[in-house]
Amino acid sequence: MLVELVTTGSELLLGEITNYNSAYLSKKLNEIGYSVIYHTTVGDNPQRMEEALKVALSRVDLVITTGGLGPTQGDMTKIIGARLMGMPLVYDDAIAESVRQWVCIHHGGAAMTENQKRQAMVPQGAVLFDNGAGTAPGVAMQQGGKTLVHLPGPPTEMRWMYENRLKPWLLQTFGSQGCIASRYIKIYDLGEAFIEEQLMDLVQGQSNPTLAMYARPGFVEVRLTARADREDQARELLAPLEQEVRRRLAGQIVTFDDDTMAHVLGNIVRQGGYSVSAAESCTGGLVGSLITDVPGASDYFRGSAGTYCNEMKEKILGVSHDTLETYTAVSAQTAAEMADGSRRLYGTDLAVSTTGIAGPGGGTPDQPVGLVYTGISGPWGTVTHRDVYHGGRAEVKRRAALRAIYYLVHYVVNHTKKA
Amino acid sequence: MLVELVTTGSELLLGEITNYNSAYLSKKLNEIGYSVIYHTTVGDNPQRMEEALKVALSRVDLVITTGGLGPTQGDMTKIIGARLMGMPLVYDDAIAESVRQWVCIHHGGAAMTENQKRQAMVPQGAVLFDNGAGTAPGVAMQQGGKTLVHLPGPPTEMRWMYENRLKPWLLQTFGSQGCIASRYIKIYDLGEAFIEEQLMDLVQGQSNPTLAMYARPGFVEVRLTARADREDQARELLAPLEQEVRRRLAGQIVTFDDDTMAHVLGNIVRQGGYSVSAAESCTGGLVGSLITDVPGASDYFRGSAGTYCNEMKEKILGVSHDTLETYTAVSAQTAAEMADGSRRLYGTDLAVSTTGIAGPGGGTPDQPVGLVYTGISGPWGTVTHRDVYHGGRAEVKRRAALRAIYYLVHYVVNHTKKA
């Protein structure tokens, strides 16, 4: 099954937004063995869109478009697609009713506009997919051995519809085309060159499964991929290679697949029965936000005290006035007292703190922009770390918050290993 | 000058990496007035790449490829491009020497491999671009009124070469095609269809400047674009249209260009001389993080109290035990007491709170996943809002946090308008 993804929208051609939909759909379709061989992006221009869809239908079996199903005049994908597939557009009462209900719930009982009614026009004879995350329905049309599918453009709607409607329909209509299984291992402690030395012989001379490595900001990603008829067979092919990689990286802090360092934190504090809290200055709340991105974090996380001024560091966290006067807020001493204070305030076993200069202003020769102190307080004492991060304000915050969680994991792993 | 960008690399079709190169080049080319009308992505497959390049050369004036210029066997873009343009590949001593020097500096004096020598093969008669950030040179070929350019795929190399080599060459060869200036207005209060009704006559029958609208999660973006010979002329064309849009949307809370709602918050609380704090449950710290993404937020923001369990809501924020017992933590009453408590704790003029069910677990028929209460406390009393957000845990958190900041802005704007 050869597939082409056609993304529509002039904002993509103007470089205003990045095309995340094609990467998502490619990954998902490859997982069920469908080969995506082209991506095309075209703007909200009827002639060019028709041309692009014609080219796509001529060279693959299945064309999936995203975007252009909304209620505005610029939304023309469905109209052009239906014409190419020879299916007239007709008004669908059921779709109209579901659009009406959505408008009612989400826009407080307002009546449908003429534009919203356009969304209820659907190609006669097409398979319709209802939209659990918005109003525009999806459409699948089959004609002369070719299949044309229209999905909505907003990523949350597109993803909902793929997972809940299109994927089941594809599997039912065309069956699985074999399966690709992947496993991702992220390594945080070692450089790419060292990891390559450890794993080079596994990279070379492997065809199924394969192993590849990518340097990312703050970690190295190792990807294992296997192809087979069924997923369990592909997973079976992966298992021995994964075991060997794990053996060679034993003792390193790693994360698997989509898990983040916050997931690793969740696992190890659950194991140890520890409760966790935070205290944040320069990260503003991002450490708490990342920790609570993990479902069930409320089992061990009690909160993060954001103290964005000296007064609150004293009042809420009990950082001493002397420390702030003598060492300033951006110091190892303050980071340590913030972590201790968070542990006391929340009554937790472990606490992590951040204090630094996110920029762009506020830097000095001694305390440059990007300087961040991290404090860890726990049953094995209080430790601090000093880092200088590069990049803009948001990047400094992000890297400091991610690293803070890593340091907390490292603290626990390090001490429980020794015990 | 019509342009098509052709991105090569199987990893894009597998969805392993996102296509950032096309967004970057689109934005840059549009800035000098070159119209990008298609993006195409094709894998490392000679027949399909040749086919894609043929289609591209048939429908635009300038085709720019990225990727496939490296030293490996999979790197075939230049070979196929040269064949299509009728230019034989020849060995270039100068390129060979610069590749040798790069390898020497960056790989510690190692000799060039056979593969690296392949990079010195260039199409006879082509314009060559040296690579200030890597080894693979870029190539521009002209034939029969068509231009084919090959740039390297790694983003740092591609960006260096565009800025330092390709852009000057394009401007010298084809001249500037004018300038495009854009202005973005984001509207948070009204749905896309309603806004379109307000602005429809401005969408239709406009060619320069143009107005377009896009639905985004939580807001609608209106884009005004003008084309002229020089930037100041383009800005001058935009001004009356912007004024008219502003007039029709008067009273709505909007943001301009890259500003977020947190920037608007910063502006209005600076104006009013207000201090701000937060109290967060389901958002975990994200409200504080978003507010502190704005440089200089420490002038008005004192911190966010993350209270991820009932006990801390009582202890730190002073939410009453009765309220939590009677109404639960996810209620308008708790949200109101959290906001009041944050205002008291931090001694601020304004406070915003969030409490809800981010999911995926924890939902009930009465309190579904995605239910979030927002509280606003300030000099004009305490108000609450109830919303139900869709999407995964991270998406619910993100939308709830963004909306909380919007509600805070709305509260201030609304009350200071009346005053």
Give Cβ neighbours of residue B365 (< 8 Å, ≥ 6 apart): none
Percent of chain B scoring above 90 in pLDDT: 66
User: Which fold, A179-256?
Assistant: Alpha-Beta Plaits (3.30.70)
> Which of 230-269 (B) contact A at CB < 8 A?
none
B302 touches chain A (CB under 8 A): yes
> Which of 54-73 (B) contact A at CB < 8 A?
55, 59
Residue B129 predicted with pLDDT over 90: yes
A191 — pLDDT class (breaks 50, 70, 90): low
Residue A74 predicted with pLDDT over 80: no
Question: Average pLDDT, whole number, for chain B?
Answer: 91
pLDDT one-digit tens code per residue, A12-37: 998 888 899 999 999 999 888 899 99
Query: Mean pLDDT, to the nearest integer, of A254-266?
Result: 92
Query: Mean pLDDT, to the nearest integer, of A400-404?
Result: 95
User: CA of B376 to nearest chain A CA: how many angstroms apart?
Assistant: 18
A293 touches chain B (CB under 8 A): yes
Which of A385-399, B342-356, B382-396: highest mean pLDDT?
A: B342-356
Please state, in angstroms and rounded to a whole number, the distance separating the CA atoms of residues A31 and A11: 29
pLDDT one-digit tens code per residue, B351-363: 999 999 998 998 9
ipTM of predicted assembly, 2 dp: 0.77
Residue B419 predicted with pLDDT over 60: no
Of A18, A23, A113, the CB nearest to B197: A113
Query: Mean pLDDT, to the nearest integer, of A89-110?
Result: 77
Please state, in angstroms and rounded to a whole number, the distance separating the CA atoms of residues B277 and B300: 9
Residue B105 predicted with pLDDT over 80: no
Give Cβ neighbours of residue A63 (< 8 Å, ≥ 6 apart): A3, A4, A5, A6, A53, A56, A57, A146, A147, A148, A149
- Say if the Cβ atoms of A18 and B23 lie within 8 Å: yes
Q: What sign does the CA torsion over B142, B145, B150, B156 have?
A: positive
Percent of chain B scoring above 70 in pLDDT: 95
- Say if the Cβ atoms of B26 and A11 lie within 8 Å: no
- At A206 the pLDDT is 76
- At B213 the pLDDT is 83
* A chain contacts of residue B297, beta-carbon cutoff 8 Å: 284, 308
Please state, in angstroms and rounded to a whole number, the distance separating the CA atoms of residues B207 and A14: 16
A227 touches chain B (CB under 8 A): no
What is the three-class DSSP state of A324? helix
Please say whether the beta carbons of A225 and A182 come within 8 A.
Answer: yes
- Say if the Cβ atoms of A18 and B16 lie within 8 Å: no
Which of A84-88, A115-119, A173-177, A187-191: highest mean pLDDT?
A: A84-88
- At B111 the pLDDT is 67
- Say if the Cβ atoms of B316 and A45 lie within 8 Å: no
Give Cβ neighbours of residue B106 (< 8 Å, ≥ 6 apart): none
Of A26, A103, A292, the CB nearest to B308: A292
pLDDT one-digit tens code per residue, B240-279: 999 999 999 888 889 998 899 999 999 999 999 999 999 9
Residue A110: DSSP 8-state: P
- At B249 the pLDDT is 87
Taking the CB of residue B203, how many other CB atoms lie within 10 A of it? 16
B107 — pLDDT class (breaks 50, 70, 90): low
Query: Mean pLDDT, to the nearest integer, of B322-336?
Result: 98
For residue A418, the surrounding DSSP H or E stretch is helix A393-418
Buried b (16+ CB within 10 A) or exposed e, A177-204: bbbbbbbbbbbbeeeeeebeebbeebee
Residue B418 predicted with pLDDT over 60: no
Which of these ranges, A192-201, A243-252, A352-361, B223-232, has the smallest mean pLDDT?
A192-201
Query: Mean pLDDT, to the nearest integer, of B15-34?
Result: 91
Please say whether the beta carbons of B152 and B138 come within 8 A.
Answer: yes
B215 touches chain A (CB under 8 A): yes
Residue A270 predicted with pLDDT over 90: yes
User: CA of A8 to nearest chain B CA: how many angstroms apart?
Assistant: 10
B108 — pLDDT class (breaks 50, 70, 90): low
Please state, in angstroms and rounded to a whole number, the distance separating the CA atoms of residues A322 and A126: 73
* A chain contacts of residue B290, beta-carbon cutoff 8 Å: 284
Please say whether the beta carbons of A277 and A288 come within 8 A.
Answer: no
- At A386 the pLDDT is 97
Any idea where the domains of chain B sit in the sequence? 2-174, 179-256, 262-418
Segments of B19-136 assigned E as strands? 35-42, 62-66, 89-91, 121-123, 127-129
Measured between CA atoms, the residue of chain B closest to residue A291 is B284
B309 touches chain A (CB under 8 A): yes
Measured between CA atoms, the residue of chain B closest to residue A184 is B16
A110 — pLDDT class (breaks 50, 70, 90): low
Which of these ranges, A156-165, A309-318, B95-104, B248-257, has the smallest mean pLDDT?
B95-104
The pair of three-digit structure tokens given for residue A90, joined into one six-digit string: 């007709």
* A chain contacts of residue B318, beta-carbon cutoff 8 Å: none
Query: Mean pLDDT, to the nearest integer, of A331-342?
Result: 98
* A chain contacts of residue B358, beta-carbon cutoff 8 Å: 292
- At B110 the pLDDT is 61
Of B37, B283, B298, the CB nearest to A43: B37
- At A306 the pLDDT is 97
Query: Mean pLDDT, to the nearest integer, of B23-30?
Result: 94
Please state, in angstroms and rounded to a whole number, the distance separating the CA atoms of residues A354 and A301: 17
* A/B interface, count of CB pairs below 8 Å: 282
Buried b (16+ CB within 10 A) or exposed e, A248-264: ebeeebbbeeeebbbbb
- At B381 the pLDDT is 98
Of A38, A302, A358, the CB nearest to B308: A302
Query: Mean pLDDT, to the nearest integer, of B78-82?
Result: 95
Please say whether the beta carbons of A236 and A224 come within 8 A.
Answer: no
Q: Choose between A8 and B391: higher pLDDT.
A: A8
Longest Cα separation, chain B: 83
Measured between CA atoms, the residue of chain A closest to residue B12 is A23
- Say if the Cβ atoms of A308 and B287 lie within 8 Å: no
Q: Choose between B37 and B221: higher pLDDT.
A: B37
pLDDT one-digit tens code per residue, B298-317: 999 999 999 999 999 999 99
- Say if the Cβ atoms of A30 and B51 lie within 8 Å: no
B92 touches chain A (CB under 8 A): no
Measured between CA atoms, the residue of chain A closest to residue B216 is A154
What is the three-class DSSP state of B223? strand
User: CA of A419 to nearest chain B CA: how many angstroms apart?
Assistant: 30
- At B174 the pLDDT is 94
Determine whether domain A267-418 maps to CATH 3.30.70.360.
no
pLDDT one-digit tens code per residue, B138-174: 999 999 999 999 999 888 889 999 999 999 999 999 9
For residue B158, the surrounding DSSP H or E stretch is helix B155-161
Of B14, B26, B214, the CB nearest to A27: B14
Residue A419 predicted with pLDDT over 60: no
> Which of 15-54 (A) contact B at CB < 8 A?
15-20, 22-30, 36-45, 48, 51-52
Residue B207 predicted with pLDDT over 90: no
Question: Average pLDDT, whole number, for chain A?
Answer: 91
Which of these ranges, A68-82, A264-278, B228-242, B324-338, has the smallest mean pLDDT?
A68-82
Q: Which CATH architecture has domain B262-418?
A: Alpha-Beta Complex (3.90)
Torsion angles phi and psi, residue A129, rounded to 5: -115, 120
Query: Mean pLDDT, to the nearest integer, of A393-400?
Result: 92
User: Which fold, B2-174?
Assistant: Molybdenum Cofactor Biosythetic Enzyme; Chain A (3.40.980)
B292 touches chain A (CB under 8 A): yes
- Say if the Cβ atoms of B304 and A296 lie within 8 Å: no
- Say if the Cβ atoms of A295 and B360 lie within 8 Å: yes
